[in-house]
Amino acid sequence: MKNAKGFTTKSIHHAQQADEKTGAVVPMLSLATTYKQDGINEPRGGFEYSRAQNPTRQQLEAVLAGLENAAYCNAFSSGLAALAGVMSLFEPGDHIVAGHDLYGGTVRYFNQVMSKYGLTFSYIDTTDVALVEAAITPKTKLIYLESPTNPMLSLTDIEAVARLAKQKNIKVAVDNTFMSPYLQNPLNLGADIVLHSSTKYLGGHSDIVGGAVMTQDKATFDKLFFNQKAVGAVPAPFDCWLLMRSVKTLSLRMERHCENAMAVAEFLDASRTGDAVEKVYYPGLASHPQHELAGRQAKGFGGIVTIDLGSRASVAEFIKHLEIFTFAESLGCVESLACYPWEMTHAAVPVEQRRKLGLTEGVVRLSIGIEEKEDLIAELEHAISFVAAKTASVSAS
């Protein structure tokens, strides 16, 4: 699509022109696992076996590459499979500098899987570029970031880290799941690799588990293609097809997620009734320590709001009174979710590391959906009033 500049135009039309033969305006779903070959070593159109190449997956990869302004994309069967693909680019003995507030499954993969294969990791507060620089050793091959982080929503200056990494000949990978390509494009900020759990905003409807890696570098793409073929953690064609449908509304969903999250964060920040809500973390609040960077680096502040209710008992009380918010893992879908990172998504992160980040037993991560914000705020106000009443009765007794 040569003339498409707008994100939404691209998300609907890039690599999704009407089918040449039939005129179908929706991509074809190609379920074949194998392809007729015209002779020895003569596959038709490059397709041999669906683990290696599948037309629907190839089309999805072209669509997703377009959204991140990337030359290449490899789709995987989950966000963690995408991470495993990226880790396959490295060798035993390589050192990785990683953010200290990453998705718990990423930390689990680094500490309990990759460390067995000789990779070493230093977990650093990457919000401070000087600390990133200090952690680099002659063996460092990658700086691995989430910005904003899951679940504490702290930001790293991706451009500054990428500049430092270029000087030292180190690659930078950014997990862009929390922002989606609509809000932030790390490759434009100098990163080498972008990852997504497409289970989240890209899919958006809690019905696809998937992952993707985008890059401008053909050699990286080729190695990831080899990983797709050799390891086989590729998405099923129907999931690829569903994802192409989902990204057509990504911009609309993200606008609404951001609008709702801002309203919820402002409400929670202003309504610390009885101190029930001890802390509110949202990059859109002027009080967020990296509010200025958030405005500069991305087109919006995202759909996640993290709060601290002070204790596990308060969280248990809070979730008892939720109806619109579903108490569940995951994020980035049309329905609002509440999650308890301490015992759910981040249970695999060492306790001392969690405490250092402010990830306490009172933290709740809210994934703000696209429902009417008034309904969300009313429900939160209702649930918090029970937390406040309970806290007051405990302190009175």
Ligand X SMILES: Cc1ncc(COP(=O)(O)O)c(C=O)c1O
Contacts with ligand X by CB under 6 A lie at 78-80, 103, 105-106, 146, 150, 175, 177-178, 197, 199, 209, 211
Q: Which is nearer to ligand X, 56 or 197 (CB)?
A: 197
Is 101 in the active site?
A: no
Least Å distance between CB 307 and ligand X? 18
Tokens at 190, concatenated: 């100098």
> Quick one: how far is CA 318 from the chain centroid?
26
Q: Are 189 and 315 in contact (CB under 8 A)?
A: no
Least Å distance between CB 341 and ligand X? 10
Dihedral sign for Cα 229, 232, 238, 239, please: negative
Q: Which is nearer to ligand X, 199 or 391 (CB)?
A: 199
Q: Are 318 and 383 in contact (CB under 8 A)?
A: yes
Give the active site residue among 103, 201, 281, 340: 103
For the chain, strand residue ranges (E) read 72-76, 95-99, 120-124, 140-146, 171-175, 193-197, 211-215, 279-281, 304-308, 326-327, 337-339, 363-367
Q: Which is nearer to ligand X, 150 or 228 (CB)?
A: 150
Dihedral sign for Cα 206, 207, 209, 210, please: negative
Is 375 in the active site?
A: no
Is 72 in the active site?
A: no
Strand partners for 307 = 280, 364
- Number of Cβ within a 10 Å radius of residue 122: 16
Interatomic CA distance for residues 203 and 235, integer angstroms: 13
Least Å distance between CB 361 and ligand X? 20
Give the active site residue among 51, 163, 223, 279: 51
Q: Which is nearer to ligand X, 35 or 90 (CB)?
A: 90
Q: Which is nearer to ligand X, 66 or 105 (CB)?
A: 105
Least Å distance between CB 302 and ligand X? 11
CA neighbours closer than 13 Å in the CB half-sphere of residue 386: 15
Q: Which is nearer to ligand X, 89 or 194 (CB)?
A: 194
Least Å distance between CB 193 and ligand X? 13
Is 103 in the active site?
A: yes
Residues near 269 by beta carbon (within 8 Å), at least 6 away in sequence: 280, 282, 285, 287
Least Å distance between CB 310 and ligand X? 24
For 267-274, which contacts have Cβ atoms below 8 Å and span 24 or more sequence positions? 267/377, 267/380, 267/381, 268/305, 268/307, 268/380, 268/384, 271/381, 271/384, 273/384, 273/385, 273/388, 274/388, 274/389, 274/391, 274/392
Residue nearest to ligand X (CB): 79
Give the active site residue among 171, 200, 256, 354: 200
Residues near 346 by beta carbon (within 8 Å), at least 6 away in sequence: 103, 104, 151, 354, 359
Q: Which is nearer to ligand X, 175 or 361 (CB)?
A: 175
Q: Are 193 and 212 in contact (CB under 8 A)?
A: no
Least Å distance between CB 147 and ligand X? 10
Active site (catalytic) residues: 51, 103, 175, 200
